[in-house]
Amino acid sequence: MSNRKLSNSPAIRRMPAYLHKLLMMRNENKINVSTTELAEYMNIELSVVRKDIMLIGVAGQRRVGYDICELIRSIKNYLGWQDTISAVLIGAGALGAALLGYDDFSHYGFHLSSVFDSDPAKIGTVIRGRKVCDIKDFRKLVSENMPDIAVICVSGSAAQDVADLVVSAGVRYIWNFANVSLRVPAGVIVQREVIAGGLAMLAVKMKQDRQFIRTANHSETSNHTSHTRR
């Protein structure tokens, strides 16, 4: 096992996208897939796809490709998604509702069993088939069936309190959508989701692209499409 911090492995982050495509293809009753097909879908180089497939340890057939079902099985296995992962959602706002409606989670073996909020106006209502429970009852309600993961979708100001609560109740893994860093005891693992990271990437691409257009207007030697598509 690697000693380096496993904080942002691009290969692992690509896996759900592969999985999504493969599930779609299986739905269309396709049997095999080639790296070319996956690379085009992902908009990445052929060799990256091959390396990723080597990583999950699947062998293909030359001139035919890989078995879709085997790839699905192996990716799930690689990510530890072969068995159901139970999770609770804290925060029944718009983002929470969006996660509850994310269809692929069920394919990933990720099950958001219950929803908590502190807002009296929300408690008792039903969102996407789940009744919203009072966060005050959190300990009691999860005590018998401890979820693997707590998904925190509350405002930044409330997030630390929620984290303290779920950790004290016994949750050891947190998926944090609140835009703050959480302090947790050693042994608790937090995955922070910074949505704006994608915006930053797009902004920098935009900036470079526009600089290129400006430059290209002054020199005739290059053109625009060769830049964006290499």
Partner DNA sequence: TAGATTGTTAATCGATTAACAATC
What residue ranges bind DNA (CB under 7 A)? 2-5, 7-11, 34-36, 44-48, 50-51, 53-54, 59-66
Q: Give the amino acid at 140.
A: K
Q: Which of 55-63, 64-72, 111-119, 187-195 is the region at the interface with a copy of itself (rule: CB under 8 A)? A: 187-195
The residues near 23 (Cβ < 8 Å, ≥ 6 apart) are: 72, 104, 107
Q: Which residues share a beta bridge with 130?
A: 127
Q: Which range touches a copy of itself (CB under 8 A), out of 25-33, 62-70, 105-113, 136-144?
A: 105-113
Those residues with Cβ within 8 angstroms of residue 152's Cβ, 6 or more apart along the chain or in another chain = 90, 91, 159, 162, 163, 166, 174, 175, 176, 177, 178, 182
Applying CB under 8 A, does 146 fall inside the site for a copy of itself? Answer: no
The verdict on 197 binding a copy of itself (CB under 8 A) reads yes
Q: Considering CB under 8 A, how many residues would be counted as binding a copy of itself?
A: 75
Which of the listed partners (a copy of itself, DNA, none) does 50 bind, with a CB threshold of 5 to 8 Å by partner kind? Answer: DNA
Q: Which stretches of 107-153 are assigned E, i.e. beta strand?
A: 110-117, 126-127, 130-134, 149-152
73 binds, among DNA, a copy of itself, none (CB under 5 to 8 A by kind): none
Q: Which is nearer to DNA, 66 or 138 (CB)?
A: 66
Taking CB under 8 A as the criterion, which residues in 10-29 touch a copy of itself? 10, 12-17, 20-21
Residue 138, token pair as written in the block: 């959190």
Q: Nearest distance from residue 204's CB to a copy of itself, in Å?
A: 5
* Least Å from the CB of residue 135 to a copy of itself: 19
Q: Are strands 173-176 and 149-152 parallel, antiparallel or unpaired?
A: parallel
Q: Is the separation of the CB atoms in 130 and 116 below 8 Å? A: no
